Amino acid sequence: MVYEILDEIIDFGHPQLTNTSHIKPLIASEVVSDSKSSSLIDIKKISNFSLFSPSTINSSASSVSVNNKSNNNDIFVDIYEKINILFNSSGYVINSSIDGCIQMKSYLVGNPSLKLILNDDLTLAETNTPGSIVLDDCNFHESVQHNEFLTNKALKILPPEGEFIVMNYRITSDFNAPFKIYPFFETESPYKVVLKINVLHL
């Protein structure tokens, strides 16, 4: 039961659902209790007790979750980016890149078609068209029609039920880093060197 509750509350390490009235209908397991004892429960005395593997609990919780959220007609869109930056000893950027993805979690009734409009400044490096955000590479989910991506940055999506990656992309062109790293070396003795690293958020 604890596993199911945590699975519904936390998504990718972030709290998503904390209202107990919304969580309760999503839980499939029942509470195991022993009215004769107020301390530890003797499992051998509980005839209906059964063990569930994490995969079993997850599958039952997921099926209940999908059915319930479909009734709510919800859709969630998240953007995840991994930034790789190489600084020199003076704090200047030598090399940098961004690996990102647009993730969608759809519980829309009837799975209607969607249209996602991205930033007008987006462009592909191979097209040599003007734009301040240059994507070196990108790929799309099979449910995405990207015929209008180069012209008006539009993506037509026929979303499957549940979670899927709409688009993966990679950026290696110059961009403003959200932070800088400055290392400081200090020699305290012939056998001891202190390294301090300061991270400056921009």
Residue 31 is predicted with a pLDDT of: 59
Residue 137 is predicted with a pLDDT of: 87
Over residues 179-190, mean pLDDT: 84
Domains, the chain, in order of start with CATH, read: 2-72 (no CATH), 75-171 (2.60.40.1170)
Question: Nearest 5°: CA angle at 140, between 111 and 82?
Answer: 110
What whole-number distance in Å separates Cα of residue 45 and Cα of residue 194? Answer: 60
pLDDT greater at residue 178 or residue 83: 83
132 closest CA partner among 153, 148, 157: 153
Residue 12 is predicted with a pLDDT of: 67
pLDDT digits (tens, 9 = 90+) for 101-136: 999 998 888 888 999 988 888 888 888 777 788 888
Q: Residue 56 — very low, low, confident or very high, per pLDDT cuts 50/70/90? A: very low
pLDDT digits (tens, 9 = 90+) for 83-109: 998 888 777 888 889 999 999 998 888
- Element counts in the chain: helices (H) and strands (E): 4, 13
